[in-house]
């Protein structure tokens, strides 16, 4: 659903607009950076002219420049100390301010993306196991981290250096226009043409790099997930060769990019050398460029210092290309339209919570086969119902429709007799507690994970829920109890134990309808049986909708529906 946009630089512009609240701070950072750059130029040229001025003054045989030399002689030592100090202080301030602005911008971008994804259909994407897609988006946001710090600031400083260099040349009397023009041209070539070419290369390489790295990831994941198959079929060599060939493809793409980057760097470098060559020729009195020696020396030192920020620009250009494609993906994902927008004037929640599907026709996309075609089924309030069907029969789509993560193309889904499309999504979802195979346990404490469902629950209520889910004893046995950290760095709970924590979270909610969508996927059969037995003992007063591909025979059920060919048939009751 989220694909490479072809709009080039527009996404970067959008991101910069997004950072509007941070603009003052970013501008301040840029100003400080510019001032620091200026101070750097001043120190460098000060050192050069000081020495040169002394030479001229001491030799005294260049009378036309005596006054300038004298001024330099008097002013520069103090000026050098001052600008030197300013340079150090300003650089320090620059680092602090630009980093602070970057942190703010990053936080803003992440919160914006999260809110956008949560609002849009992408909330449904997570529901449909698109965790990988979301991970890639997170990686894209990480790429954008450097937009201000590594792109805007250096480019700004380079621009300022250009202005100062040209201004210095113009301000010094007797500098021929030809020299100014030549240097300006070379500087622009280095600071603009090289980086832009590099950025183009980066923009074009982006999709290829993404593709090749994705191919490598698929190969590596196949190797890891298929370790058993590989061993059984003696396929070690084959699989390894495949992973290596995918890696080589990635490396070839990377090598191409780095070769182009190096070439862009060479071009920029040679432009800088040409500028110096012009100034040196001018200093030694080459006719078209000839300038007074003192001025030439000042200019040489200014040029050396001014060119320093330019040398990093081609690299920044490549990054800009990559950032533009990352920004395109992020913006596209965050601005996906809502699959099922709220009605303009939502109806208030009905008192009842019987769930019914009436002649529902549904497909996820126009070019995909219909999932439901005239599906009708009733789930009366307070009943325990199983919905059976082989994989691909649309069991999860059923939950998505009830929760209004998707909208049917025809027919109605009703809660308490009211079409769910007439309700506000937040109201509607307050009636449901959902536990699916993609239910996520967060890297957080057990308590925080439970309170996701009901923030105000007190500790006693947490324990009751854990008790009902049959996991209280295990949690009590953990050294940190409710404060135990879950997730990758956390306590190693087994798959079954984690599912029970998720069940406790669902039970903690006061929602009258529980939707359990393949709650035992990935568990072994005995764990599954124990989990389902626990389920029989809880939630007596609520509607339970158990969505599964097969029954073990231990479930306590009032009714069973079977999904076949996009319709539901009552199987038993």
| Distance of closest approach, residue 254 Cβ to other proteins, in angstroms | 7
CB 99 within 8 A of CB 33: no
| Distance of closest approach, residue 195 Cβ to other proteins, in angstroms | 15
CB 470 within 8 A of CB 532: no
| Distance of closest approach, residue 397 Cβ to other proteins, in angstroms | 14
Q: What are phi and psi of 343, to 5 degrees?
A: -65, 155
Rounded alpha-carbon distances, angstroms, from residue 469 to 153, 184, 463, 506, 526: 55, 74, 10, 9, 16
Tokens found for residue 305: 């210092």
| Distance of closest approach, residue 131 Cβ to other proteins, in angstroms | 5
| Distance of closest approach, residue 75 Cβ to other proteins, in angstroms | 12
| Distance of closest approach, residue 286 Cβ to other proteins, in angstroms | 8
Q: Based on CB atoms, which residue is closest to other proteins, 156 or 265?
A: 265
- Closest alpha carbon to 138 in 113, 168, 171, 103: 113
Q: Based on CB atoms, which residue is closest to other proteins, 8 or 75?
A: 75
Cα 373 to chain centroid, rounded? 38
Q: Based on CB atoms, which residue is closest to other proteins, 10 or 266?
A: 266
Q: Based on CB atoms, which residue is closest to other proteins, 322 or 509?
A: 509
| Distance of closest approach, residue 222 Cβ to other proteins, in angstroms | 5
Strands 372-379 and 418-419: unpaired
CB 26 within 8 A of CB 19: yes
* CB-neighbour burial class of residue 47 (10 A; exposed 0-12, middle 13-18, buried 19+): middle
| Distance of closest approach, residue 488 Cβ to other proteins, in angstroms | 7
Tokens found for residue 533: 């037995």
SS3 441: coil
Q: Based on CB atoms, which residue is closest to other proteins, 10 or 572?
A: 572
Q: Based on CB atoms, which residue is closest to other proteins, 167 or 224?
A: 224
Tokens found for residue 95: 């680092």
Q: What are phi and psi of 410, to 5 degrees?
A: -145, 160
Compute the distance between CA of residue 235 and CA of residue 554 in angstroms, rounded to an integer. 41
Q: Based on CB atoms, which residue is closest to other proteins, 204 or 549?
A: 549
Q: Based on CB atoms, which residue is closest to other proteins, 114 or 410?
A: 114
| Distance of closest approach, residue 111 Cβ to other proteins, in angstroms | 5
Tokens found for residue 141: 């946001």
Q: Based on CB atoms, which residue is closest to other proteins, 351 or 477?
A: 477
Q: Based on CB atoms, which residue is closest to other proteins, 13 or 81?
A: 81
E-strand stretches of 59-181: none
Q: Based on CB atoms, which residue is closest to other proteins, 235 or 358?
A: 235
| Distance of closest approach, residue 173 Cβ to other proteins, in angstroms | 17
Cα 525 to chain centroid, rounded? 38
Question: Rounded to a whole number, what is the distance in angstroms from the first to the last CA of the chain?
Answer: 40
- Closest alpha carbon to 428 in 403, 406, 447: 403
* CB-neighbour burial class of residue 573 (10 A; exposed 0-12, middle 13-18, buried 19+): exposed
CB 360 within 8 A of CB 375: yes
| Distance of closest approach, residue 42 Cβ to other proteins, in angstroms | 11
Residue 65 per-residue DSSP state: G
Compute the distance between CA of residue 519 and CA of residue 508 in angstroms, rounded to an integer. 17
């Amino acid at each position: 659903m989220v694909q490479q946009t072809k709009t080039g630089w527009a996404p970067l512009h959008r991101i910069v607009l997004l950072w509007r609240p941070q603009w003052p701070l970013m501008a301040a950072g840029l100003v400080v950076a510019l001032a620091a750059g200026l101070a750097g130029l001043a120190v460098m040229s000060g050192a050069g002219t000081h020495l040169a001025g002394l030479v001229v003054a001491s030799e005294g045989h260049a009378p036309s420049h005596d006054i300038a030399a004298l001024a330099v002689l008097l002013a520069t030592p103090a000026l050098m100390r001052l600008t030197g100090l300013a340079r150090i202080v300003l650089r320090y301030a620059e680092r602090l301010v630009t980093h602070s602005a970057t942190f703010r911008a990053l936080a803003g971008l992440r919160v914006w993306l999260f809110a956008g994804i949560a609002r849009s259909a992408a909330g449904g994407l997570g529901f449909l196991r698109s965790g990988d897609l979301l991970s890639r988006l997170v990686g894209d946001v990480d790429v954008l981290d450097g937009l201000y710090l590594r792109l805007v600031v250096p480019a700004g400083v380079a621009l300022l250096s250009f202005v100062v260099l040209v201004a210095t040349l113009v301000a010094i009397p007797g500098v021929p226009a030809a020299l100014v023009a030549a240097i300006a041209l070379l500087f622009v070539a280095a600071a603009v043409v090289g980086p832009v070419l590099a950025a183009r290369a980066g923009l074009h390489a982006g999709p290829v790099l993404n593709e090749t790295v994705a191919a490598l990831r698929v190969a590596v994941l196949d190797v890891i997930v298929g370790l058993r198959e590989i061993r059984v079929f003696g396929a070690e060599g084959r699989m390894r060769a495949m992973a290596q060939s995918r890696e080589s493809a990635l490396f070839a793409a990377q090598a191409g990019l780095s070769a182009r980057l190096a070439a862009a760097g060479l071009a920029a470098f040679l432009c800088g050398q040409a500028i110096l060559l012009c100034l040196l020729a001018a200093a030694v009195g080459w006719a078209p460029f000839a300038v007074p020696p003192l001025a030439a020396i000042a200019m040489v030192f200014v040029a050396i210092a001014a060119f320093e920020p330019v040398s990093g620009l081609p690299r920044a250009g490549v990054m800009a290309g990559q950032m533009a494609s990352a920004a395109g993906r992020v913006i596209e994902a965050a601005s996906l339209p809502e699959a099922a927008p709220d009605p303009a004037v939502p109806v208030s929640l009905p008192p009842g919570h019987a769930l019914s599907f009436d002649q529902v026709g549904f497909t996820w996309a126009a070019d995909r086969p219909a999932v439901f075609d005239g599906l009708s089924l009733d789930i009366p309030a307070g009943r325990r119902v199983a919905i059976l069907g082989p994989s691909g029969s649309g069991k999860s789509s059923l939950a998505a429709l009830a929760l209004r993560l998707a909208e049917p193309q025809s027919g109605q889904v009703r809660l308490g007799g009211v079409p769910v499309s007439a309700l506000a999504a937040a109201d509607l979802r307050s009636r449901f507690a959902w536990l699916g195979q993609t239910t996520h346990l967060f890297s957080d404490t057990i308590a925080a994970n439970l309170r996701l469902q009901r923030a105000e629950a007190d500790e006693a209520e947490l324990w009751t829920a854990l008790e009902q889910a049959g996991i209280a004893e295990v949690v009590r046995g953990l050294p940190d109890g409710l404060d135990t950290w879950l997730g990758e760095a956390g306590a190693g709970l087994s798959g079954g134990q984690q599912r029970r924590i998720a069940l406790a979270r669902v039970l903690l909610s006061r929602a009258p309808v529980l939707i359990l969508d393949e709650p035992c996927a990935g568990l072994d059969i005995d764990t599954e049986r124990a989990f389902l037995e626990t389920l029989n003992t809880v939630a007596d007063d609520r509607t339970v909708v158990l969505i599964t591909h097969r029954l073990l025979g231990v479930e306590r059920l009032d009714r069973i529906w079977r999904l076949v060919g996009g319709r539901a048939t009552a199987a038993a009751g």
